[in-house]
Chains A and B, each alone.
Chain A
Amino acid sequence: MCEGMNRPSVGIFGLTGCAGDQLVILNCEDQLLDLLGALDVRDFLLASSRNDVTCELDVAFVEGAVLSKRDEKHLRRIRERSATLVATGTCAVWGGVAAMDGGARRAQYLNDVYGELGAYYDSQPAKALHEVVKVDLNISGCPIEKGQFLAAVANLLNGDPPLLAEYPVCGECKMRENNCLLIEKGQVCCGPLTVAGCEARCPGLGMPCIGCRGPASDVNVESALSTFRSKGISEDQIVMKLRTFAPVAVTAGNAESVHG
């Protein structure tokens, strides 16, 4: 990963998810044709009906979570053929919204939704990619930020290890000189525990952070929790919010990062 690449072969894949991260890639309208020049995109089903589905790949970007045997098989095949596998987006990195309940009541939910047929569908509790295969790089975000994706591509092309923030959203929020929604208004803002990279989009609009990028690793969890408590916000409340996007990262009473 740390050697420069001359027009690397690339695959862009979606497991189960909303396709938001692939959409962000297509949303790089100003860079898209340059990207297609710099990268040899060999397998991208969302964008092309002619794909090489067996060739070796220098880099695979994979979005979505693993929710079926089919997903799992697909992911293992991608891993076998790829030198660098990039978990792209919060579902791929953390499991995302489909993992919200930790898989506990899946059989019941399937029955609720599909009745007796539910038992026949190929369905399993949501897993992040790293729970199934080795992952080389994580770009989180729901969806990923365009700038972070483009910077990661540029780094890969130049042979530099991509630099992604490990500090929380609060750092970026302070840089933007936003009023603090937690301290000043007592709102349940997940900024202190959520990884930066979004330029504090939500607090910048007066909306509390909902933790869509997953947890920050470089954070003083105890201190953040004590700030929440001082504002009358219980640990359960904050854990409930954080579970929405990154359930594997959070256990009740102990918000911690499990994966760098």
Chain B
Amino acid sequence: MAETIRVEHLARVEGHGGITVELDGDTIGSVRFDIFEGLRLLETMVRGRSYEDVAGVASRVCAICSVAHSLTSLKATETAFGIQVSPQTALLRQLLFRGENIQSHALHLFLLAVPDYLDYPGAAALARDRADLVMLGLHLKKLGNSIQESIGGRAVHPVNVAVGGFGKVPDADQLIALRHGLLDARKDCQTVIDLVASLPSADHCRCDTVFAALRSPGEYGYYAGEEITVISNGTRETIPVSEYRSLTNEKAVLHSHAKHSAFRGEPFMVGALARLAANSDLLDGSAGGFAERLGLALPSRNPMDNNKAQAVELVYDVECALRDVERLLDEGPRPEPPVAVRPRAGAGTAATEAPRGLLFHSYTYDQQGLLASADVITPTALNAASIENHLRHTVAQSRQIDAPSLTKKLEMVVRAYDPCISCSVHLVRKRHAV
């Protein structure tokens, strides 16, 4: 008997998407992650604009990852112009990324994902019974936002970042206030891990998964790095960021405004779980113990573990942000203007790790510094094919359960990816090489 399971409009995810599963008796037909986010085509619109304006528009691709979009944009532009930023700028940018990651993971874990595990429709309902839990999430989210405000000038769409550096370098008073907040938050870290460890298990789409993540040299980071690690069937290989298209291989599909990606024909997963799989050797301090406490075997065969991986990163970023702030305070924050920009014709590609995974910006400029072409590939676009793969496994591994229970499991899979659907929608393809 033919049957269609449909989630028209997914709740508790950013943006507009749905799920469709077609079943015919024991045969699983089409399984789709439908994306009907409106098409803003920002990359085409920014063509012809000055290099100074590009990051401000790029930021608007997505609010929750606006730091990642702004800084990846700046990194691509700086690569095109051959600009090296100062070590202080690089450190502040890394700290800004950690702030965004704390904000984004706290929002996703506590307000969007955890309600599923405890059977609540959302954080407002959860707060009636478990105010402690919601307050903990809000407290950490606020901390992440305070880092973004102090370094980036605003919690959503940073205004203090520029090609070559910052508008105004935060002063010692601002850093001391951040240190205070981070020291305070460190006390919550064990509670976060205990909470996530206590959640009922979710394990209904177990399978081999290909992972891809940026590798930052020398530390578990999100901003620096020029190489992608791909983990597939127990092997690791490295792809230079400049050759990102050999990883992404995008193609347009009709049911989704996000293009689909595949590496050697296989969908792949990006995000916290992929980062841990690729870079866990770079974790130091207590973070390794946290992963163990949560029972994370890496690389994981259970994509639902992305929630646990986010919890590990959340507490690790609190530790690392504290270390970064103390280093800045030890060295004394120096006011410095952005590096002088001399535009030139050229191309630049940059990759970073946004909270939900690998993000690419690739630009070409003409000799006046006007943008000739842009290509932006976001983590949720990269994940779209992998999400469908895991939805299919969920259906295959849940044949004996009723439709509402299956629907909930399907929603949980999509939510575990922490999709940012606004982001996923493509804005441009490279057409006009300089």
Q: Please name all residues of chain B whose beta carbon is closer than 8 Å to the beta carbon of A19 when the two chains form the complex.
A: 14-15, 62-64, 422
Report if A16-B154 is in contact (Cβ < 8 Å); known contacts: A49-B411, A120-B254, A207-B159. Answer: no
A64 CA / B64 CA spacing, docked (Å): 15
Whether B427 contacts A202 by the Cβ 8 Å rule is: no
Report if A18-B426 is in contact (Cβ < 8 Å); known contacts: A27-B155, A41-B124, A49-B122. Answer: no
Whether B159 contacts A30 by the Cβ 8 Å rule is: no
Say yes or no: is B212 at the interface (Cβ < 8 Å to chain A): no
A97 CA / B40 CA spacing, docked (Å): 8
Q: Number of contacts between A and B (CB, 8 Å)?
A: 181
Report if A32-B138 is in contact (Cβ < 8 Å); known contacts: A18-B61, A113-B429. Answer: yes
Whether A205 contacts B145 by the Cβ 8 Å rule is: no
Whether A23 contacts B64 by the Cβ 8 Å rule is: yes
Whether A122 contacts B36 by the Cβ 8 Å rule is: yes
Whether B159 contacts A98 by the Cβ 8 Å rule is: no
Say yes or no: is A20 at the interface (Cβ < 8 Å to chain B): yes
Say yes or no: is A214 at the interface (Cβ < 8 Å to chain B): no
Say yes or no: is A234 at the interface (Cβ < 8 Å to chain B): no
Interface string of B160-176 (1 = CB under 8 A from A): 10100001100000000
Whether B156 contacts A20 by the Cβ 8 Å rule is: yes
Range for the number of chain B residues in contact with chain A: 35 or more
Residue of A20, A49, A68, A117 touching B66 (CB-CB under 8 A): A20
A185 CA / B154 CA spacing, docked (Å): 24
Closest chain-A Cβ to B128's Cβ sits at a distance in Å of: 9
A110 CA / B252 CA spacing, docked (Å): 12
Whether B12 contacts A20 by the Cβ 8 Å rule is: no
A-binding segment of B41-49, B274-282, B320-328: B41-49
Interface string of A115-130 (1 = CB under 8 A from B): 1011011110010000
A198 CA / B429 CA spacing, docked (Å): 35
Say yes or no: is A106 at the interface (Cβ < 8 Å to chain B): yes
Residue of B15, B40, B43, B60 touching A67 (CB-CB under 8 A): B40
Say yes or no: is A165 at the interface (Cβ < 8 Å to chain B): no
Whether B428 contacts A48 by the Cβ 8 Å rule is: no
Say yes or no: is A80 at the interface (Cβ < 8 Å to chain B): no
B231-275: which residues lie under 8 A (CB-CB) from chain A?
252-254, 257, 259
Q: Please name all residues of chain A whose beta carbon is closer than 8 Å to the beta carbon of B411 when the two chains form the complex.
A: 49
Q: Please name all residues of chain A whose beta carbon is closer than 8 Å to the beta carbon of B139 when the two chains form the complex.
A: 29
Whether B15 contacts A206 by the Cβ 8 Å rule is: no
Say yes or no: is B288 at the interface (Cβ < 8 Å to chain A): no
Q: Please name all residues of chain B whose beta carbon is closer than 8 Å to the beta carbon of A38 when the two chains form the complex.
A: none
Whether B40 contacts A101 by the Cβ 8 Å rule is: no
A257 CA / B134 CA spacing, docked (Å): 42
Whether B127 contacts A33 by the Cβ 8 Å rule is: yes
Say yes or no: is B390 at the interface (Cβ < 8 Å to chain A): no
Say yes or no: is A17 at the interface (Cβ < 8 Å to chain B): yes
Interface string of A176-216 (1 = CB under 8 A from B): 00000000000000000000000001100111001010000
Say yes or no: is A100 at the interface (Cβ < 8 Å to chain B): yes
Interface string of B32-43 (1 = CB under 8 A from A): 000011111111
A32 CA / B429 CA spacing, docked (Å): 40
Q: Please name all residues of chain B whose beta carbon is closer than 8 Å to the beta carbon of A115 when the two chains form the complex.
A: 252
Report if A106-B41 is in contact (Cβ < 8 Å); known contacts: A47-B111, A49-B122. Answer: yes
A114 CA / B160 CA spacing, docked (Å): 34
Report if A48-B39 is in contact (Cβ < 8 Å); known contacts: A27-B155, A201-B153, A205-B159. Answer: no
10 contacts between A and B (CB under 8 A): A23-B63, A26-B111, A30-B142, A47-B124, A50-B122, A113-B39, A113-B43, A205-B159, A240-B49, A244-B56
- Which residues of A are at the interface with B, using a C-beta cutoff of 8 A? 14-21, 23-24, 26-27, 29-30, 32-33, 36, 41, 44-51, 64-68, 70-71, 96-98, 100-101, 105-106, 109-110, 112-115, 117-118, 120-123, 126, 142-143, 201-202, 205-207, 210, 212, 240-241, 244
Please give me the 7 A-B residue pairs with the lowest Cβ-Cβ distance, nearest first. Answer: A16-B38, A48-B122, A20-B63, A67-B38, A50-B121, A49-B11, A98-B40
- Given A23-B63, A36-B127, 11 further pairs, Cβ under 8 A: A14-B16, A18-B63, A49-B411, A65-B38, A68-B38, A68-B39, A97-B45, A110-B39, A112-B428, A113-B44, A142-B60
